[in-house]
Amino acid sequence: MIVFENVEYVYPNGVKALRDVNLRIGEGEVVAIMGENGAGKTTLLKHLNGLLKPTKGRVLIQGIDTKEATVAELSRKVGIVFQNAEEMFFSGSVWEETEFALRNFGFSEDVIRRRVEWTLRFMELWNYKDKSPFMLSGGEKKRLALSVILAWSPEIIVLDEPTLGQDQLQKEKMMEVIKLLNTQGKTVILSSHDIEFVAELKPRVILMKGGKIVGDGPAEKIMVDLELLESCSLIPPQMVQLTSRLEFIGIEAKLASPEDIARDIMERIKS
C-alpha cells in the first residue's frame, strides 16, 4: 500500500509543486498519472522512493514513512525509471549496468547471470550486452533502464514517460511488460503524456493540475470526461473523440476499440 497524507512539497526556490495531496494506491494496481507539464507528476514520483521528502504531511510505502528511511532502503521496494534514462547509467557495458543492483543487493552469481540474461533478451537488448550504455539510442536507453529495474524485481515499479522515444513496436513491448508485471502482482505507476497508450492500457488514471489531484478513477470514466481532460490540457483519445461525435445516433462517448465502435454503429444502422 502506498499512502500520501496531506502532502505538500515546496522546492528550495519557493515553488510549491504539490498541494494537499491525498492518495492511496493498493498492491497490484496499475496507475497512470497524467497532466500538463508542471502539474507535479514527476515531483510526486520522486516521493515514492524518498528522493524528495514532503515539506508537509507524510508518504508511507508499505507502512514505512519515507522521512524515516534512506533512498537505499526504499529502493529495495521501489524501482524508478526516470524520463532521462541516461542519467541512471555509469557502467562500462549494458551487462554490467544491468547486474550492478543485483550485486549490490547480494544476489548469488547464478541468480545474477540468469536474471540479467532473461531481462536483456526480453527487452531485446541481448545483442548490445557488451556495448556501452551511452552508445545506445534514446529508445534503447529507456529499455535498458527498465531492464535494470526488472532484473532486481522490486514490488513497486515506477515509470516516468515510458513510451517517450519508443516506436510503435516498442510501445507494444512496453504494454506487454506492464501487463506481465501486473500478472505478477507488481504495483506499476506511470507518468505519461501518451494518452493513446494509456487509453489502450486502461489503468486507474489520476489527473493532476497545479500540484493537486483533480481527477481519480478508472480510465473508462476519466477518459470520457472531456471537460476534465481539457482543464488539464489533455486531448481525449481518438476513439473517445469519435464516439462523442456520434451522439446524434445514440452512441455515448466511451473508451472502446475500433471493432466495438464499428459493431455498435452497424447494430444501430440495422435497427
- pLDDT at site 248: 64
| More confident call, 84 vs 202 | 202
pLDDT per position as a tens digit, 13-55: 999 999 999 999 999 999 999 999 889 999 999 999 999 999 9
- pLDDT at site 7: 98
Q: Is 71 exposed, middle or buried (0-12, 13-18, 19+ CB in 10 A)?
A: exposed
Residue 75 has pLDDT above 90, yes or no: no
Residue 261 has pLDDT above 80, yes or no: no
CB distance 206 to 215 below 8 Å: yes
The answer to which of 87-96, 154-163, 164-173, 244-253 has the lowest mean pLDDT is 244-253
- pLDDT at site 105: 86
Q: Sign of dihedral through CA atoms 179, 180, 183, 184? A: negative
Report the percentage of the chain scoring pLDDT > 70: 95
- pLDDT at site 249: 66
- Rounded CA-CA distance 106/227 in Å is 51
- pLDDT at site 46: 94
* Beta-carbon contacts of residue 160 (< 8 Å; ≥ 6 apart): 41, 42, 45, 80, 81, 82, 83, 190, 191
Question: 91 by DSSP, 3-state: which?
Answer: coil
pLDDT band at 160 (very low <50, low <70, confident <90, very high): very high
Give the pTM.
0.89
Query: What are the cell numbers at 34?
Result: 497524467
pLDDT per position as a tens digit, 210-239: 999 999 999 999 999 999 999 999 999 988
- pLDDT at site 217: 96
The average pLDDT across 78-95 equals 88
The average pLDDT across 200-214 equals 96
pLDDT per position as a tens digit, 107-148: 999 999 999 999 999 888 999 999 999 999 888 888 899 999
Of 145, 184, 180, the residue nearest 161 (C-alpha): 145
- pLDDT at site 265: 74
Report the percentage of the chain scoring pLDDT > 90: 66
